[in-house]
Amino acid sequence: MRLLPFSFLFILIFNNAFAQKVYEVKECIQTGLDKNYSLLITKNSEVIAKNNHSIGNAGYLPTLDLNGRQSGTLNDTRTNLGDTTGTFSDNVHNTSSNASVSLGLTIFDGFSVTTTYKKLGELKKIGELNTQMAIENLVANIVSAYYNNIQQVNLLDNLEYAVTLSKERLRIDEDRYLLGSNSKLQVLQSKVYLNADSSRLSKQFEVVRATQIRLNELMAVDDLGGQFVTKDSTIEVDHGLLFEKLLEETLSKNTTLLIASSNKTISEFDSKIVKSRSYPYLTASSAYNYNFNTYSSSSINNQQTNGLSYGLTLGLNLFDGFNQRRNIRNSSLDIQNKELRYQETEQGIKADLITIYSAYSNYLRLVELEQQNLRTATENLSIAMERYKLGNLSGIDLREVQKSLLDARESLLSVQYQTKLAEISLNLIAGRIMDYYK
């Protein structure tokens, strides 16, 4: 009777879970791509880089400015002459009004404008790659969280099975105790085992809830505490990943490598922009000016001037304190650094690929071993239960057999999940993580 409320709680939770929405991995990915906040921020940054890639921002287009000014003076003037006479002017108010429209255009600046436009295009590409990398990382996290939920639910089922076995053992011990063929100590020990398994089952419910909340968080759903069940109930692993194919795709499609390559290209553009300052520059300018001045104490009451001005400016920097030479040297060193950074990144990614693929291959072998171990443990428990019912096996030995079966199931689930994580990581490195979305 003491176990009845506890069992009723489990039944209530399970019934509530089955009434929830069913998630499949593609649906989770789609929801995350539409609503994840970090991804939306990255997409906005991509739009900024796209907006910056314009001929106006590069300097191809002329500039046109309009300005106007109204000013005035109010003065008192005292003039003393040598013959002791003088003039006095009080509240002399003069005004000046002017307006102008000016047009400026860079005709030549050592190919800086062309190079800047190309650089902006490469920055736009990096913005797109950053979004792509954010998408890939989000998909990898969602798929990992999805299968982690499946693992934890299976562990929950495993612990529920443990409770079922403990209940059956308690029933057998109570029947024996009533028949006088068993001691009360054995019954009490069985109750201890049942309570211990029930406690682990209760804790596992919290673990499952945590995985649900985590997946909801990645998808940025409104109800973070919403419960669901997954369409998949087992962790299926791709056994067909080949290292040579993964390496080939990694070198050509890995997003981190593509970004490193773009950064190297940008450093080359920066070097060309620095070198362009050694060339002469030619600019054109034109303006229309209007001026109107008034005088309160003069033979001229007002004066108006208006007209067009224009000009060409040809210039060349002859000496700037050796700063240009220094900038050119620094730009060359920056190109070398970006090349070294690319090689370092490529080496690191190759090392990760080799390490993870080695673990992936080992996990595949472990999955087969754990499956064999599980079959053996299942058969062993069946024999042990029959012997225990006949009284030919002690309670401690039966508990060990039960524990071996439960451990075998947990170990298999753990290895399957670790294999899945390795598979996800390999697909992420090789730039094929979006295959989970197909």
**Helices 243-253 and 323-389, axial angle in degrees (round to 10):** 150
In contact, 349 and 250? CB cutoff 8 Å: yes
- Residue 9: pLDDT above 50? no
The predicted model scores a pTM of: 0.85
Residue 266 structure tokens: 């940008």
Burial of 206 (0-12, 13-18, 19+ CB in 10 A): exposed
pLDDT digits (tens, 9 = 90+) for 135-194: 999 999 999 999 999 999 999 999 998 898 888 888 888 887 887 766 788 888 889 989
Domain boundaries, the chain: 4-35+111-280+322-437
In contact, 59 and 112? CB cutoff 8 Å: yes
In contact, 115 and 30? CB cutoff 8 Å: no
Summarize the confidence of residues 412-427 as an average pLDDT.
Answer: 96
Label residue 341 by pLDDT band (50, 70, 90). Answer: very high
Question: In degrees to the nearest 10, what's the CA dihedral of 345, 349, 350, 354?
Answer: 150
Q: What percent of the chain has pLDDT over 90?
A: 66
Query: CA 141 to CA 214: how far, in whole Å?
Result: 10
pLDDT digits (tens, 9 = 90+) for 265-295: 999 999 999 999 999 999 999 999 999 888 7
Average pLDDT, the chain: 89
pLDDT digits (tens, 9 = 90+) for 381-404: 888 888 877 877 777 787 888 888
Query: CA 365 to CA 386: how far, in whole Å?
Result: 33
Give the long-range contacts of residues 26-32, CB within 8 A, separation 24 or more: 26/436, 26/437, 28/142, 28/146, 28/215, 28/218, 28/219, 29/139, 29/142, 29/143, 29/436, 29/437, 30/437, 31/219, 31/220, 31/221, 32/138, 32/139, 32/142, 32/218, 32/219, 32/220
Beta bridge partners of 69: 98
Q: Which CATH superfamily groups domain 4-35+111-280+322-437?
A: Outer membrane efflux proteins (OEP) (1.20.1600.10)
- Give the model's pLDDT for residue 48: 95
- Residue 17: pLDDT above 60? no
- Give the model's pLDDT for residue 1: 36
Query: CA 308 to CA 366: how far, in whole Å?
Result: 86
- Give the model's pLDDT for residue 84: 64
Q: How many CB atoms lie within 10 A of CB 200?
A: 16
